[in-house]
Amino acid sequence: MGKHVTDRVFTPVDRQRYRDKMQRGLDALARMLADGNFSFPAQQMGLEMELCLVDERLEPSMTNAVVLEKIDDPAFTTELGQQNIELNVEPHLLAGDTALDLERRLHSALRLADSGAHDAGAKVVMIGTLPTLRSTHFDPHWLSHQVRYAQLNEQIFLAKGEEMLLDMEGVALGDGPAEHLRSYADSILPESACTSVQLHLQVRPEDFAAHWNAAQCLAGVQLAIGANSPFLLGKALWHETRVPLFLQATDTRPEELKNQGVRPRVWFGERWITSIFDLFEENVRYFPALLPEPVEEDPIAALEAGRAPTLAELRLHNGTIWRWNRPVYDLVDGVPHLRVENRVLPAGPSVLDTVANAAFFYGAQRALTEQDRPLWTQMSFEAAEENFYTGARHGLEAHQYWPGAGWIAPEELVLRRLLPMAREGLRACGVSEAVADRYLGVIEQRCLRRQTGASWQRDVVARLESRGQDRYTALNGMLQRYQEMSNSGEPVHNWPVE
């Protein structure tokens, strides 16, 4: 996002010109969708994973520049905070046994990353929020040293006009009371605590709406069975604390605009869609540009010259609106294509869990798109949004609304309905039975044993505190066990609490 952004002051003329360019980009996109000018040789998927760096004491290690130099692989890039790096896996076909290859590639990449981190005196952790983070790690000087991060930080604070408030009511840990976090930050670095996995799926333009709507339907149950972010700044908060944290850490709205109903930039959405155009049009209509730096290309002129436009302004603007399921327009060798980017899941707990989460999502999403009566015609968008926030807050203790089942426990919904659907969907994608058995079996066992990364972390910390440890000592001890189990390759449902 914004790799071409320069260090400059944006003027009112810049913003007006940028708005005009985005509107022209929308016009070009509408023409391309009408003419069918998109590539779709075969269905491909891609994956990005954000990772944390820690030192020998398991505290955040602000060494990403050094670690990336040691790794020396273009698959790894910077992220917002100096304690983060990101792994980008090249796109590959979804069909056949390629998920097994993905699992091997992830293991190999993480070994490479850990070797590079070791040379820099650090270790790599695959987790949704790093429990040893403290408020001092959100000081602005810990931003990664790229212009785009500094510009984004500056523009968000200019728009907001005041410090960021992190204000979250947690879910009680053990027999204790619910814990409450209230903390101020003078940078957007709290967002760097949200380490996630992003799943990309290339789709035909005419299929995009169905895939996006299906992804929105699944977001709540994805969180309920995949939560892995229960602690922040020493507090036991939501099972997937990334959800409220991301919303608050990038919120450009002061209280008065919130009270007026102005939409946040971390957004679930507000309606089912009929085209990818709906989402890009909402971006332009509702959200001011944060980085209004236009390029010289005229997208309409490019079309008329027989070239696919880059739509640079629409794409950069889209990168500053953090939908949980994001539309993507991209070019490969000058040929455009469309993707759904699922941004719901946290990193970890293990590579096997990560690939299992992906297989479950892709299979269930495909099955939902092929139903004679689409699920999103049977439930309100508000119900899907409630599922999302309930799943994030309570994990497996949540209840989800599902047409034909009413309010149902997430593990029951998965075991009775979604796992059979996911198997059918993977089969429709050409995925082998061996792949479906391996990865859907992990999801099945996680539901049967009712243990996610979040529930395991909470149980271990509660156990350590019952033995007299204070919170930060317990968090450190839990993280040490977490890292050992994650490195072992065992899926989280097999991790012992003792």
Residues 162-193: tens digit of each pLDDT: 999 999 999 999 889 999 999 999 999 999 99
pLDDT band for position 7 (50/70/90)?
low
pLDDT at res. 61? 98
Mean pLDDT of 344-359: 98
Q: Is the pLDDT of residue 36 over 90?
A: no
Kindly give, in sequence order, each residue whose CB lies less than 8 Å from that of residue 488, ignoring residues fewer than 6 positions away: 350
Q: What is the dihedral of CA 433, 49, 414, 175, to 10 degrees?
A: 140
Percentage, residues of the chain above pLDDT 90: 93
pLDDT at res. 274? 98
H or E element that contains 93: strand 84-93
pLDDT band for position 395 (50/70/90)?
very high
Percentage, residues of the chain above pLDDT 70: 99
DSSP assignment string, 282-347: HHHHH---SS----S--HHHHHHTT-----HHHHHHHTTSEESEEEEEEEETTEEEEEEEE--PBP
pLDDT at res. 3? 52
| Closest by Cα among 53, 412, 390, 350 to 239 | 390
pLDDT at res. 4? 57
Q: How many CB atoms within 10 Å of residue 335?
A: 12
Q: Is the pLDDT of residue 272 over 60?
A: yes
Which residue in the block uniquely carries the two structure tokens 């203790």?
397
Alpha-carbon gap, residue 179 to 181, rounded angstroms? 7
Q: Is the pLDDT of residue 121 over 60?
A: yes
Angle between helices 208-226 and 433-449 (to 10 degrees): 40
Q: pLDDT per residue over 212-227, tens digit each?
A: 999 999 999 999 999 9
Kindly give, in sequence order, each residue whose CB lies less than 8 Å from that of residue 125, ignoring residues fewer than 6 positions away: 51, 52, 53, 54, 58, 348, 479, 482, 483, 486
259: helix, strand or coil: helix
First to last CA, the chain: 42
pLDDT at res. 449? 98
pLDDT at res. 210? 98
Q: Is the pLDDT of residue 402 over 70?
A: yes
| Closest by Cα among 388, 389, 342, 391 to 364 | 342
| Closest by Cα among 354, 432, 320 to 89 | 354
Q: Is the pLDDT of residue 147 over 80?
A: yes
Burial 207-239 (b: 16+ CB within 10 A, else e): bbbbbbbbbbbbbbbbbbbbbbbbbbbbbbbbb
pLDDT at res. 11? 87
What separation in angstroms does the CA of 206 have from each of 27, 33, 211, 275, 438? 18, 8, 10, 7, 32
Alpha-carbon gap, residue 279 to 409, rounded angstroms? 31
pLDDT band for position 6 (50/70/90)?
low
Alpha-carbon gap, residue 226 to 83, rounded angstroms? 23
Q: Is the pLDDT of residue 2 over 60?
A: no
pLDDT at res. 498? 81
pLDDT at res. 5? 65
pLDDT at res. 53? 98
**Mean pLDDT, rounded, of the chain:** 95
pLDDT at res. 490? 97
Q: Is the pLDDT of residue 62 over 90?
A: yes
Q: Is the pLDDT of residue 50 over 90?
A: yes
Greatest CA separation for the chain: 72
pLDDT at res. 234? 97
Say if CB 239 and CB 452 are below 8 A apart: yes
Tokens of 168: 């979250």
